Amino acid sequence: MVRVGASILHADLDAFYASVEQRDDPRLRGRPVIVGGGVVLACSYEAKARGVRTAMGGRQARRLCPDAVVVQPRMAAYSAASKAVFRVFRDTTPSVEGISIDEAFLDVGGLRKISGTPSEIALRLRERVRREVGLPITVGVAKTKFLAKVASGVAKPDGLLVVPVGGELAFLHPLPVERLWGVGPVTSAKLRDRGLRTVGAVARIGEAALVSMLGVAAGRHLHALAHNHDPRTIQTGRRRGSIGAQRALGRSPRTPRDLDAVLCGLVDRVARRMRAAGRVGRTVMLRLRFDDFSRAARSHTLPRATSNTGTILEALRGLLSAAMPMIDERGVTLVGVAVGNLDDGKAVQLMLPFDPGSGAELDVAVDAVRDRFGSSAVTRAVLLGRDPGLAMPMLPD
């Protein structure tokens, strides 16, 4: 779809969790704030200026910023703030694509006659979020989703940046290669080792060279983005492609029994969300982050789609068992699980013969008790006395 103007907004709340804490407690304003103790879930820009980063260990964060105020996360407050912000988004335009609880794309291309230019709409959006929700938000405006997100990143914190039509490459090409989606530490090192430090340098070397350097998929992807080729439109009402959860563990050693307990808690959470959303899935995925910050992912496809807790847990236990030699050698700081290849639970044909011991009735009963009396009303014996971890707020499944 070819657009005639810069009509896509990327709106991104600034240091979301920390900003909510500073909004609700005036004593924290202007001070370095860290949300979360063992692992940094979020930090204010005052803390970021001292080198603190999300997912950093709490001890390292406090060494870098000894005067930081450490607060415990309040997930209910963050969820309420997110819902209030998204109400402003949807009051601005019906074309809203939520990316996470603190960011979204908005298409305002058809609103010029009733709401003004995209830059005027973006300005009013920022003012409304500040006035009605009390939070700072940065907005990037551009012709493509990719460039709107880049613009908001450049404009942070609490800024507004409009990339004019015709000036996209002049804005994009001087930026460092890390601004391209998909360029993490490994890809960045490969590009910089070859003298490619800016987006413009990546654009000039050609697709074939990038493919030989990074592989077909990554090479073509970066070549397209370096030329601002991004045909994606705003997707509204699109359901998730996967449902998952993860748990940061810090750097303390973990026994196989500890990791199994973590896995059980994550699977309980994910399977319950799937059933609440009426979804079933066939592919289970295990994600690990090691002490050296490297990552690994493993997956397994089930014979048929399910939302049964026991079935999903059994498959993930197999993946975790196979990954234990890597964990023993490299340590583990994060465990994540997800179920993908999702389908509508009502559209799945039941298999014969029916299995009376499938555990479906148990799942339904446990879900009903937890819905009525809270998530901690029924728990596994293996989780008794253990920290269940935080259930992060997120967009509806």
Q: Give catalytic residues, as residue numbers.
A: 103
Angle (CA) 323 325 331, round 5°: 90
The residue among 91, 171, 107, 103 whose CA lies nearest residue 144 is 107
H or E element, residue 285 = strand 279-289
Question: For the purposes of burial, counting CB atoms within 10 Å of the CB of 128, is it exposed (0-12), middle (13-18) or buried (19 or more)?
Answer: middle
Residue type, 75: M
Query: Tokens at residue 147, please?
Result: 């460039």
Residue 12 annotated in ligand binding: yes
Residue 204: count other Cβ atoms within 10 Å of its Cβ: 12
Phi, psi at 306, each rounded to 5°: -155, 160
Crossing angle (nearest 10°) for helices 216-226 and 207-214: 140
d(CA 101, CA 276): 19
Residue 91 annotated in ligand binding: no
In the chain, the largest separation of any two C-alpha atoms, in whole Å, equals 64
Query: Tokens at residue 77, please?
Result: 């407050």
Estimate to the nearest angstrom the gap between the alpha carbon of 296 and the chain centroid: 17
Binding residues for Mg(2+): 12, 102
Binding residues: 12, 102
